[in-house]
Amino acid sequence: MSFFNTQIKFASDIVAANISIIVILVAAVIYISLAKKWKVIWSLIRTMDHRKIGILYIAWGFIFFLRAGLDAMLMRTQLAFPNFHFWVFQGDKYDQVMTTHGTLMIFFVAMPFLIGLMNIAVPLQIGARDIAFPFFNSLSMWLFVIGGLLINMSFVMGGAPSTGWTSYVPLAVGKDIVGNGTAFYDMGVQVSGIGTIMTSINMITTILKHRAPGMGFMKIPLFTWSALITSILILFAFPVLSAALLILLFDNQFGTQIFSGEHGNPVLWQHLFWAFGHPEVYIVILPAFGVFSQVISTFASKRIFGYSSMVLSMLAIGFLSFMVWIHHMFTVGLGAFANVVFAITSMLIAVPTGIKIFNWLFTIRGGSVRFTTAMLYSLAFIPSFVIGGVTGVMQAVVPADYQYHDSYFVVAHLHYVMVGGTVFGAFSGFYYWWPKMFGYLLNDKIGKWQAWTFIIGFHMTFLPMHLSGLQGMPRRTFTYLPEDGLFEFNFISTMGAYLMAFSVLLFIWNVFYSYQKKERWGVADPWDGRTMDWAVPSPSSHIRWPYLPVVRDLENLWYAKEHGDGTLPFSQKEEKRIVVEKPTIIPLLLSGGFFTISFGLIFAVPLITVAGFMGTLLLMAWRSITYERSIDLYTSAQLEEAIRREEE
């Protein structure tokens, strides 16, 4: 079939994908209609509430997580046996699945999970009524969704990106592209990247300008600190990616030959990509560090050990993360001096990271550890992440890296930090903040089964990969030969991957099970919490704090529990102008505009692109003109009255 000049071949896998898309959509529509949830959906897609936007981030992230996880299962099945032929997943089909897995997991799973948690917890932790710019916040979220949908759609629309999530040039420009793969990758990541940059501005403004009275910099909870530092990293790193993607688009669609061709420099793409890509690694790990700091401190019932060195080491990691990118390029041949300089800066990152590990350990010492599911994930993180960390230092040894580079050793390393760090952190955060999101707890017993199967499956999958790498297995290969001696390692990895998939199914079951049981409904502080997020009702309400809480300590709620009855003192200041944004559909429509622009660019139909631009500009103008009508203004007294009415 021809679709906007792109050939779509209906092979068995494409047909299966199309059928499952239709089945899932129809099932969703039937479920929503039967459960009479269309009103909920309508209010959810127009929401300006930071909690609901956070939930949407996580929900969409989870949908993409399932897709990228399915890709992982297809890959692991194809790799289970030597010279295996599983369905169609060899050659460029495998490459499409592999690229989609990587791109989705980094940009559309790790990022929204963490940004979602930031949205939910940061305003509560610092005593803010909402994120600084709620409209922006909603738009950022929808741009991320659109970007993710573009990447997801590509598989059934002529071909997914197939050149790895790093999309190296000249491979990504030229005859090796399947369908419009690179353009899908380019626009999908670009559009969501715009949203991410807006989020970072939003977070920085919120944390710098909207802290409750009394919260000096050294009284900011560690999760919020991590959100602040991550946002600063995003602000500096993502524009580099945006520029690189723009050039890649030009090279692809207009033949500009900046990275590719006779006049282009393919190494330039690598520099730009990794100048973004390495900070990106810390962008997705620092918020996870923040989650661990909150969770470990809460469930060890103890103040975090070495708070100031925790903050300083995060700042150091953030700073260093911008000057290590060449360690992804040791084999490019940039010369001994460049390699050595960047090897040493890379090694240095181990120091602040080590400080954090020991601080977590010594937070446990002298405390009283409660093994909830959230704590289980945080504890499992410590040894897992240390394995990922030490293999990282090993790769900073340049000559040794000539062996590890682009082998399964690297695959093992990156999954140890991304899964053992980021995904463990995300799950820990879900179990921890679930009551704040939905008002009830996730079941702890199912949770523990889920956590253990996930942790064991994780080590089973990725530990053997170190060995297959040392046995000479290059990454991004879809098969190996019987005489390579790789069968055992790969088979164990595949079994581990299935166990992880089972664990994810357990998580889904837990969500449905807990939704029906609604354990400890509405309890504001189910964990004996220490920070202000546990001082507001569960789930947190959109309008709150007519008078802002006064911050006396880093652990403001704990301080109130120790020095009184556990209620926070509130400021007496009467505020004249409290802005609450009304729900609006404009962010969703705007993201539709961006989708149209991207669609036109991907399929090279200028008319559609122009229409998209016009629509986007019109919507922006409309928003500017109607701003005064789209907000509610309150004084403190009026807000107090409104909250009382809502409670009744």
Partner 1 sequence: MKKIVGIWGSCLLLLSGCSAIQNMDVLNPAGSQAAEQYSLIKLSMYIMLIVMVTVVVLFVRFVHKYRARPGFTPEKHQENRNKKLELTWTILPFVLLLILAVPMVKSVFGEEKQDNTGAMKVKVTASEYWWKFEYPEEGIVTSQELHLPKGKRVVIELHSKDVIHSFWVPQLGGKQDLIPGRTNKMALTPEKVGTYQGKCGEFCGAGHSFMRFLVKVDSQQDYQQWVNQMKKENTSSKLSAQESEGQNVFKNNCLSCHATSGVASANQGKEGPNLAGFGDRERVAGFMPNTEKNVLKWLKDPKKVKPGTEMPKAKGLSKDDYAALSAYLKALEK
Q: Which of residues 75-114 bind partner 1 (CB under 8 A)?
A: 90-92, 95
Give kind and range of the element (H or E) at residue 581.
strand 578-581
Peptide bond connecting 539 to the previous residue in cis, omega within 30 degrees of 0: yes
Shortest reach from residue 184's CB to partner 1, in Å: 17
Within residues 128-147, the interface with partner 1 by CB under 8 A covers none
* Contacts to partner 1 from residues 31-60, by CB under 8 A: none
Nearer to partner 1, 463 or 580 (CB): 463
Q: Which is nearer to partner 1, 210 or 530 (CB)?
A: 530
Part in contact with partner 1 (CB under 8 A); list of ranges 185-193, 331-339, 432-440, 609-617: 331-339
The phi, psi pair for 354, rounded to 5°, reads -60, -40
| Binder of partner 1 out of 268, 456, 605, 642 (CB under 8 A) | 456
C-alpha 289/C-alpha 282 separation (Å) is 10
Least separation, in Å, of the C-beta of 387 and partner 1?
7
Mask of contacts with partner 1, 275-314, x by CB under 8 A?
-------------------------xxxxxxxxxx-----
Q: How many residues belong to the site for partner 1 (CB under 8 A)?
A: 98
Q: 218-277: which residues touch partner 1 (CB under 8 A)?
A: 262, 265-267
Report d(CA 134, CA 590) in Å as an integer. 15
Cα(376)–Cα(240) distance, integer angstroms: 37
Tell me how far CA of residue 495 lies from CA of 290, 333, 459, in angstroms. Answer: 32, 38, 11
Contact positions with partner 1 (CB under 8 A) in 500-559: none
- Within 10 angstroms of residue 226's Cβ, the number of other Cβ atoms is 29
The residues in 173-192 that bind partner 1, with binding defined as CB under 8 A, are: 174, 176
- Minimal distance in Å, beta carbon 238 to partner 1? 24
Nearer to partner 1, 397 or 589 (CB): 397
Out of 358, 515, 622, 627, point to the residue binding partner 1 (CB under 8 A).
358
366 sits near partner 1 (criterion: CB under 8 A) = yes
Site for partner 1 in 415-444 (CB under 8 A): none
184/269 with CB nearer partner 1: 269
Select the residue interacting with partner 1 from 120, 151, 234, 387 (CB under 8 A): 387
Q: Is 516 exposed, middle or buried (0-12, 13-18, 19+ CB in 10 A)?
A: exposed
Question: Which of the residues 586 through 625 are near partner 1 (CB under 8 A)?
Answer: none
Cα angle for residues 537, 542, 545 (degrees, 5° grid): 65
Rounded to 5°, the CA angle 631-637-639 comes to: 40
Considering the complex, what minimum distance in angstroms separates the CB of residue 315 from partner 1?
14
Q: 230: Cβ–Cβ under 8 A, 6 or more apart, which residues?
A: 114, 118, 200, 203, 282, 283, 286, 287, 318
C-beta closer to partner 1: residue 147 or 352: 352
User: Considering only residues 4, 84, 136, 168, which one is a binding residue for partner 1 as defined by CB under 8 A?
Assistant: 168
Q: What is the DSSP letter of 7?
A: E
365 binds partner 1 (CB under 8 A): yes
Answer yes or no: are the C-beta atoms of 381 and 292 closer than 8 Å. yes
Q: Which of 115, 126, 357, 374 binds partner 1 (CB under 8 A)?
A: 357
Asked if 1 touches partner 1 (CB under 8 A), the answer is: no
Token couple for 625: 């003109």
CB of 241 to partner 1, least distance (A): 20
CA 549 to chain centre: 30
Cα–Cα dist 264/273, whole Å: 16
Among 367, 439, 583, 592, binds partner 1 (CB under 8 A): 367
| 497 SS3 class | helix
Q: Looking at this protein, which amino acid is placed at residue 401?
A: D
Q: What is the DSSP string of 177-227?
A: --TTHHHHHHHHHHHHHHHHHHHHHHHHHHHHH-PPTT--GGGS-HHHHHH
Binder of partner 1 out of 1, 9, 34, 399 (CB under 8 A): 399
